[in-house]
Structure 1
């Protein structure tokens, strides 16, 4: 179960890249994930050769939230994922 979280990036950069978040679970383990908005997805990624299309793949710890990221939105998203029993699946163990 999620105990606390820390946002490691300035939320003002949410339209150009990922926002990294460190989670601490009730058992003391620490985990990492990052949040993206659709606008940030459009601003980064790899170009598919010969196209004007960007691709994102192999990103198992990315959580996409529509519109905008605030501390409250991140908290609500993490609580939603935690209630669904998916917090470990959606984050990477660190330390």
Structure 2
């Protein structure tokens, strides 16, 4: 590609997450010069899908801008991991 913009980086990250290549997706995420909410949500989703909820939570804390996708991804991840208390706490925080 002659030029890589945030959309092309996001597409690569999302594709890698989708096929389970979280390590490669993380590497690209760290190499990005510009990130947007799609970038952050894609990598957050990767950690949640990998069951790495501690890492996902720390990433969530680093996000400068959270949206309904960010919150829902993390809440769903904790629910699937069986940590209903954390999922409920996040749900309450989101609704404040």
Shorter-chain TM-score bucket reads under 0.3
TM-score normalised by L of structure 2: 0.25
TM-score normalised by L of structure 1: 0.26
More relative contact order in 1 or in 2 (CA 8 Å, sep 6+)?
Answer: 1
Choose between structure 1 and 2: higher strand proportion.
1
Choose between structure 1 and 2: higher helix proportion.
2
